[in-house]
Amino acid sequence: MSIDFEQLRADALEAVSAAGDSEALQALRVRYLGRKSPLKSALRGLSDLPAEERARVGRLTNEIKNDIEQAVAGRSEALEREHESELGGREWSDLTLPARRGRRGHRHPITLVEQDLDNLFRGMGYRVVEGPWVEDEWHNFDALNIPKWHPSRDSFDTLWLSDGNLMRPHTSPVQIRAMKRFGAPLRAVFPGRVFRNETLDATHEAAFNQIEGLVVDREITPGHLFHSVKAILSAILEEDVETRFRPSYFPFTEPSFECDIMRNGDWMELCGMGMVHPTVLEAGGLDAQEWTGFAFGLGIDRLAMMRYGIDDIRWFHRGDLRFLEQF
């Protein structure tokens, strides 16, 4: 029996320390320490050796066996640690980091513009009042000096409901509700959604948004109106806008005007307005001999389109994230 014990020890220790995973290590354990390993056969053959040889080989074999067992145990631990730190690298959480924010939504461009308008008007002493989307015929038409036979009724493309009510085609009926509720003097704006049976195109939607203004006090004149509208539009568009007031017609105002603003060398129609018709003041429960007022109405969608450079009003309701995420 001629085993080179030192060579065996060196080979075994080297192989064990290089074992790449626990399976390889297990195979080495079998090879060097298992029943058929050279060490085990050496131990089995001890009894055949002369006594003095037997002691020496016995000691040496045991020593090598212990060395290899230790090396295997050490390597096994090292592999375990490697595995853990690899897992840890993936699952590590640094508790000192600030909490990650959840994915939050954000406001729609129409809402952004409407909120700016609300704040602007509040700063000028207006109260912000909302009215119902489903309106009755009286508030929407009769109280605004548009009786049943009046031709301008047709111009609103009203969506009627089967119960005789309607989806409001403008925010003007809120004028009546506000006068009844708050009396005079009054300074208020009424933002909100309006509905029309429109043929849709780049500038027409079946649902869009207006903001209506109403000021009631003693001895209000068109001068107050012109100045206020110019100041308001300048504030909204953040520049000293050039305005043009043209005579126009609305049943609920007398006289009535249309305000255009200068945009890129062109006049652009933006806002209807006028001095509140005495019939409308009376419908709001006010004495038209004592009170006077002005009113105006403008489209929020159009303002938002101007502010953000949006070329088609239909983007607002498409729900397309590529559009919405830009705001």
| Distance in Å, CB of 118 to ligand DAH, minimum | 17
Site string for ligand DAH, 146-185 (x = CB under 6 A): ------------------------x-x-------------
Is 273 an interacting residue with respect to ligand DAH (CB under 6 A)?
yes
Pick between residue 65 and residue 170 the one whose CB is nearest to ligand DAH.
170
Is 272 an interacting residue with respect to ligand DAH (CB under 6 A)?
yes
Is 295 an interacting residue with respect to ligand DAH (CB under 6 A)?
yes
| Distance in Å, CB of 314 to ligand DAH, minimum | 19
Give the range of 41-49, 179-187, 271-279, 283-291 binding ligand DAH by CB under 6 A: 271-279
Number of residues that bind ligand DAH (CB under 6 A): 11
Pick between residue 68 and residue 275 the one whose CB is nearest to ligand DAH.
275
Helices (H), the chain: 5-18, 22-33, 38-44, 51-91, 109-123, 137-140, 173-182, 222-237, 278-283, 300-308, 315-318, 321-324
Question: Residue with structure tokens 């002005």?
Answer: 294
Pick between residue 271 and residue 310 the one whose CB is nearest to ligand DAH.
271
Give the Å distances, CA to CA, from 277 to 58, 109, 168, 247, 300.
Answer: 121, 34, 20, 15, 24
| Distance in Å, CB of 172 to ligand DAH, minimum | 4
* φ, ψ at 177 (rounded to 5°): -60, -40
**Would you put residue 241 in left (φ > 0), alpha (ψ -120 to 50) or beta?**
beta
Of 211-250, binders to ligand DAH (CB under 6 A) are: 212, 250
Give the range of 6-14, 36-44, 53-61, 267-275 binding ligand DAH by CB under 6 A: 267-275
Pick between residue 76 and residue 203 the one whose CB is nearest to ligand DAH.
203
Render the burial of 148-161: b for 16+ CB within 10 Å, e for the rest: eeeeebeebebeee
Is 191 an interacting residue with respect to ligand DAH (CB under 6 A)?
no
Pick between residue 208 and residue 316 the one whose CB is nearest to ligand DAH.
208
Pick between residue 75 and residue 302 the one whose CB is nearest to ligand DAH.
302
The answer to whether the beta carbons of residues 292 and 209 sit under 8 Å apart is no
Q: Which residue, among 127, 120, 144, has the nearest Cα to 235 in the 3D structure?
A: 120
Q: Provide the token pair at 300.
A: 């929020």
| Distance in Å, CB of 296 to ligand DAH, minimum | 5
What is the Cα–Cα distance from 206 to 87, expressed in whole angstroms? 57
Question: Residue with structure tokens 């509208």?
Answer: 229
Spatial neighbors of 295 by CB under 8 A, at least 6 apart, are 172, 175, 212, 213, 214, 215, 252, 253, 273, 274, 276
| Distance in Å, CB of 102 to ligand DAH, minimum | 40
Q: What is the distance, to the nearest Å, from the Cα of residue 301 to the centroid of all Cα atoms in its chain? A: 19
Is 297 an interacting residue with respect to ligand DAH (CB under 6 A)?
yes
Half-sphere exposure in the Cβ direction for 263 (13 Å, CA): 16
Pick between residue 270 and residue 305 the one whose CB is nearest to ligand DAH.
270
Q: Which residues of the chain form contacts with ligand DAH (CB under 6 A)?
A: 170, 172, 212, 250, 253, 272-274, 295-297
